[in-house]
Amino acid sequence: MKKVVLVFLLFGALGCKNAKKEVETENAIELAAESGVKLYTLSGGTVQVNQLELFSQDTTYTGQTKVFADAFYVIEHPKGTLMWDAGLPEMLVGMPEPYTDPSGAFTVSRKDSVEALLASIDMTIDDIDYLSLSHTHFDHSGHAEKLKKAIWLVQEAEYDFVTSEEVQQTNADVYNAVNDLTNIKKINGDYDVFGDGKVVLKLMPGHTPGHQVLYLELDEHGPLLLTGDLYHFYENREYKRIPIFNFDVDKTKESMAAFETFAVEKGAKVYLQHAKGDFDMLPKAPNYLK
């Protein structure tokens, strides 16, 4: 009888061990599934370009108009969370009509605050560990000043540009969008945010002195690039057309060449941030690309 009891106890112990291993295996699988990078795409507003000729050095687009998306993104990594770009100014939220700038070149609108948009992915401003802007133009820095706790990863050349006396005097709104940020890490060149090559800021100057693009490696989607304002729409990428307001035309051309070489080397899917077609293609919060 004792032998029978011992046999049952032995099988019971083995059963418990096997069950424990199964649970550990399931937990490991779940953890692995959650350990990849996630890309959330959110709308920071809409830009109606009334004078598309501003986006070429020649007269190609004279008399044409185009609607731009104005996205910003949240990248969730096992080691932290990065916000890439910050949409249009939040002063537009709640305005009864879209706002047209005094020159008549742009008509802009924004429906939701960053807090409301983050809530759609169960996050708050305090959940953002890092902020990085492709550049500091008004349509990419809109709610940046709200992320005071996040570390602002900024190219030193861009920081020097936006805080210069010239910008403060001639374009104070651009300076004021970031002047309250004090938790700053200045970088020079490409920067691997989490140290594993999956979220990399790549310096691509020309549009502004410290303009950058974002490279991501996603487990299911694969590698991708977010262009900032290196290209605004498909034709400009195809024909390498450059806006008349770019800081440095020659550096822009060099960045375009470097970008295309890198995209081919990595086999990366390219998403133009202002291209409405690319914005529509990406899953919208609370869904994400992984």
Contact at 8 Å (CB) between 147 and 181? Answer: yes
pTM of the model: 0.88
What does the pLDDT read at residue 35? 64
Identify any residues that bridge with 80 across adjacent strands, giving them in sequence order.
77
Contact at 8 Å (CB) between 69 and 234? Answer: no
Query: Do the bridges between strand 151-155 and strand 130-132 make them parallel or antiparallel, or are there none, so unpaired?
Result: parallel
Contact at 8 Å (CB) between 250 and 170? Answer: no
C-alpha span between 225 and 216 (Å, rounded)? 6
Contact at 8 Å (CB) between 73 and 226? Answer: yes
What does the pLDDT read at residue 34? 55
The token duo for 205 is 């100057």
- List the pLDDT tens digit at each of the 290 positions of the chain: 444 333 333 334 434 445 444 544 444 334 334 569 999 999 999 999 999 999 999 999 999 999 999 999 999 999 999 999 999 999 999 999 999 999 999 999 999 999 999 999 999 999 999 999 999 999 999 999 999 999 999 999 999 999 999 999 999 999 999 999 999 999 999 999 999 999 999 999 999 999 999 999 999 999 999 999 999 999 999 999 999 999 999 999 999 999 999 999 999 999 999 999 999 999 999 999 99
Contact at 8 Å (CB) between 116 and 164? Answer: no
The token duo for 222 is 């694969």
